[in-house]
Amino acid sequence: MTTYLFTPPPIQSLAVRGQSARLPINRIFCVGRNYHAHAIEMGRPVDKSVEQAFYFTKSPQTLVHSGQTVAYPPRTSNYHFEMELVLVIGKAGFRVSEANAHELVYGYAAGLDMTRRDLQLVARDKGRPWDTGKDFEQGAVCSEIVHMPGVVIENAAIDLEVNGASKQSSNVEKLIWNIREIIADLSTYYHLQPGDLIYTGTPEGVGAVLPGDKITGRVDGVAEIELTIGAAQ
Ligand code: MN
């Protein structure tokens, strides 16, 4: 039996609706700028005819389950929500065609790609990695997973409120790179594995939250999500 010098980090996992077994999380990928209206509000419009999709990652250890209270994170004064459809990979695949992409779909969840926007934008504008703006503790929030094997979601309302006031309201039909395209393209960079999560991007209306705020959101036909912002650490 292997012995370790200290207790290894726990395996991250998410609940699956209707099942007692939990889904172990391998990696967390995020698609950048995947709705035109959000790309424009960030000052970086997308021309799909000449641009490729791009991705960043969050550590699995940043994962937080819906319904929790998270501390307002350090080193930011502009802590943003991004409501997203999360795609859950259930089967390994490399260089998967768009036509076969559905075979990798385990299911979906509702997610929040929480962002230290001030840090992200400084990094972006200096041409530096934006890890400190995106890949931070408790920064990847996810609902329970819904098992929808082989389903390609093409149309579903996606909405978010803060303290009951609507902030984001769109439809995943507006994704610039759709579910089949994301799987096919990402699988040219990585060998996709069961337990990989892909946050598919956020629509317009992103904004800041403060301690005491409560975020609610949903992807119709998939799941709902909740997050409460606690005091700063
Ligand atoms: Mn995002």
Return the percentage of the chain with pLDDT > 70, whole number. 100
Question: CA 87 to CA 189: how far, in whole Å?
Answer: 17
Q: Which pLDDT tens digit goes with each residue over 81-135?
A: 999 999 999 999 999 999 999 999 999 999 999 999 999 999 999 999 999 999 9
Task: Determine the distance separating the centroid of ligand 1 and the alpha carbon of 7, expressed in angstroms.
Answer: 32
Query: Which amino acid is present at 191?
Result: H
Domains of the chain with CATH codes:
13-232 (3.90.850.10)
pLDDT mean over 49-62: 97
Question: CA 16 to CA 38: how far, in whole Å?
Answer: 30
Q: Which pLDDT tens digit goes with each residue over 153-174?
A: 999 999 999 999 999 999 999 9
Looking at the DSSP bridge assignments, the partners of residue 145 are: 16
Task: Determine the distance separating the centroid of ligand 1 and the alpha carbon of 112, expressed in angstroms.
Answer: 8
| 107: its two tokens | 């299911």
Question: CA 116 to CA 94: how far, in whole Å?
Answer: 32
Nearest by Cα to 169 from 205, 199, 143 = 205
Task: Determine the distance separating the centroid of ligand 1 and the alpha carbon of 139, expressed in angstroms.
Answer: 11
CA distances from 130 to 56, 59, 121, 123, 193 (A): 9, 13, 8, 5, 24
What was the pLDDT predicted at 233?
84
Give the SS3 label for residue 61.
Answer: helix
Task: Determine the distance separating the centroid of ligand 1 and the alpha carbon of 92, expressed in angstroms.
Answer: 24
- 57 alpha-carbon distance from chain centroid: 9
Residue 7: CB atoms within 10 A of its CB come to 6
CA distances from 93 to 96, 135, 217 (A): 6, 25, 31
Looking at the DSSP bridge assignments, the partners of residue 107 are: 88, 147
Task: Determine the distance separating the centroid of ligand 1 and the alpha carbon of 231, expressed in angstroms.
Answer: 23
